[in-house]
Amino acid sequence: MLLTGNKTLRQIAGLAETCNFLFLKLLLKNRAKARQFPGEIFRSYMGLVRDERWACRSIFELFPQAAGNRVVLEHIPCEGLLTPLEQLACLALITKCLQPRAIFEIGTYRGRTALNFALNSPKDCTIHTLDLPPGMRLGDDLRQNSADRDLIRASSPGACYEGKDVAYKIEQLYGDSKTFDFAPYRRSVDIVYVDAAHDYEAVCSDSENALAMVRANGCVIWDEFANYGEYNDVTRGIQDVVGVENIVHVENTQLAVYFQPAD
Ligand SMILES: C[S@@+](CC[C@H](N)C(=O)[O-])C[C@H]1O[C@@H](n2cnc3c(N)ncnc32)[C@H](O)[C@@H]1O
């Protein structure tokens, strides 16, 4: 039901799958947090069952070479973002394992993930990170998704990495990902990180561009996977463009990974 196009059906299914007394208590205590509850319960269930609608694996099963690796995290509390530290650590580990020369992030916000990619990648890696130009960040005419509108207004690309020692690796790009020209990056990127607009049309378009950019043996990573609520379209978009049978959900995170085969 999570993958149906009908939002009301999805909401009913989400409640039926996850509603319990704790959810009701949370709803009374903190309505905003209660919205996250169905997604968290659903992801925990999918992590425990491991192979139902898609595969769910731990970071160490996906990247056995991650064991023993050390990563550097600079945690900058980012208002409006709920990304847990474990998820940042997974992104850092994947970066350490793949030793990328090029990373492309769609969706900078303030640059927290860009900074962490920079901290864990080789010295000669370039992190291209794309966000809307200042003039397009007013939001209202761009998105139906209210959570996106708030993020777009609050974004300030570069705020988290400017002045840092690794900032030289980061190239800030501006444009709307739905119309941006990704052609120069075709088949040349080791890690593509998709974390921009969360409406269905944008997720499909970003996913198609990500698949075109990733090089052999590289990977595409999406944030906000397996989410009920505002961000549900991420899972639907991935299903329709990539196929959920081709991705793996990273346990204890909202990350999904696609591995581009060798040539
Ligand atoms: C979830 S935030 C990115 C968070 C960031 N990756 C991090 O974890 O630090 C999404 C960002 O995507 C940007 N965005 C939304 N729609 C976009 C579009 N069509 N093109 C480019 N960027 C977009 C927003 O302005 C916002 O800064």
Q: Which residue has the tokens 């509850």?
A: 37
- What pTM, to 2 d.p., does this model score? 0.94
In contact, 227 and 238? CB cutoff 8 Å: no
- Atom number of ligand 1 nearest to Cα 109: 27
In this predicted model, what pLDDT tens digit does every residue of 64-118 receive, in sequence order? 998 888 999 997 876 667 678 899 999 999 999 999 999 999 999 999 999 999 9
In contact, 196 and 106? CB cutoff 8 Å: yes
Counting ligand 1 atoms within 8 A of each CB, the residue from 91, 194, 195 with the most, and so the one to mutate, is: 195
Residue nearest to atom 7 of ligand 1 (CA): 113
In this predicted model, what pLDDT tens digit does every residue of 167-215 receive, in sequence order? 999 999 999 999 999 999 999 999 999 999 999 999 999 999 999 999 9
111 CA from centroid of ligand 1 (Å): 10
What residues are in contact with ligand 1 under a 6 Å CB criterion?
Answer: 78, 81, 83, 105, 107-109, 112-113, 130-132, 148, 151-152, 155, 176-178, 195-197, 202
Contacts of 138 (CB under 8 A, 6+ apart): 152, 153
194 CA from centroid of ligand 1 (Å): 9
155 CA from centroid of ligand 1 (Å): 7
User: Chain-wide mean pLDDT for the chain?
Assistant: 91
Rounded-to-integer distance, Cα 130 and Cα 108, Å = 6
Rounded-to-integer distance, Cα 21 and Cα 202, Å = 36
Identify the structural domains of the chain with CATH numbers, from first to last. 58-259 (3.40.50.150)
132 CA from centroid of ligand 1 (Å): 7
pLDDT range class, residue 140, cuts 50, 70, 90: low
Residue nearest to atom 22 of ligand 1 (CA): 131
